[in-house]
Amino acid sequence: KNKNEEIEETIIYVYSIDEKTGKEVNELAQENKLGKTTILISNLRNSAYRRKDVVVRSFFIKNPMIKLIYAGSHAKLIAIKTKQGNFYTCNTSANMTSNSRIEDFIIINNESDFNTEKEFIETIDKYVTQKELAVYDFDGEKIKGENKFKTHKK
């Protein structure tokens, strides 16, 4: 982020996020440095990830600055809208974890791409929260109707 730019909105799609990174994202959101923040995290989990995900989920569901959505997803993306009129989208192979793997990142500044991602996350949110679907979080707990992990709407 350019230190002269102020973030108005952040959209994050992630398959996996570790405790350290989850804590950092949570703190940035609490300090309103990410603006309106929506995080789509995968509910596709095995037991090896359960403890880590419970800890990260506890950060996000207690934070009124974050809307958290669970869905079967393997997407990894960060989209940022700034008050100065920039629209950054970063598509990546990387999860939000600390590791030494080689990953790729494609970063563009394009309003149309940002709006596409915003429309996509809004569609997923409606699909998960407004339909009577058999949707499960990573812990195997059924979610019906209103998404109980959502903590706010702006």
76-124 per-position pLDDT tens digit: 999 999 999 999 999 988 778 777 788 889 999 999 999 999 998 988 8
Lowest-confidence range among 7-16, 39-48, 105-114, 122-131?
39-48
> Comparing 38 with 54, which gets the higher pLDDT?
38
Q: Give mean pLDDT, residues 118-147.
A: 63
Strand segments, DSSP code E, in 5-153 are 7-14, 36-42, 66-71, 77-82, 87-92, 105-109, 135-136, 142-143
Asked if residue 74 lies in contact with residue 42, where contact means CB atoms within 8 angstroms, the answer is yes
Mean pLDDT across the chain: 79
Q: Identify the CA nearest to 43 among candidates 7, 64, 65, 14.
A: 14
pLDDT of residue 83: 96
Q: Is pLDDT above 70 for 150?
A: no
Asked if residue 104 lies in contact with residue 93, where contact means CB atoms within 8 angstroms, the answer is yes
Q: Is pLDDT above 70 for 51?
A: no
Q: Give mean pLDDT, residues 38-66.
A: 76
pLDDT of residue 17: 83
pLDDT of residue 114: 96
- What is the spatial distance between Cα 71 and Cα 17, in angstroms, rounded to a whole number? 15
pLDDT of residue 8: 96
Q: In which band, very low, low, confident or very high, does the pLDDT at 141 lie, cut at 50, 70 and 90?
A: low
Percent of the chain at pLDDT exceeding 90:
34
Q: In which band, very low, low, confident or very high, does the pLDDT at 146 lie, cut at 50, 70 and 90?
A: very low
pLDDT of residue 140: 52
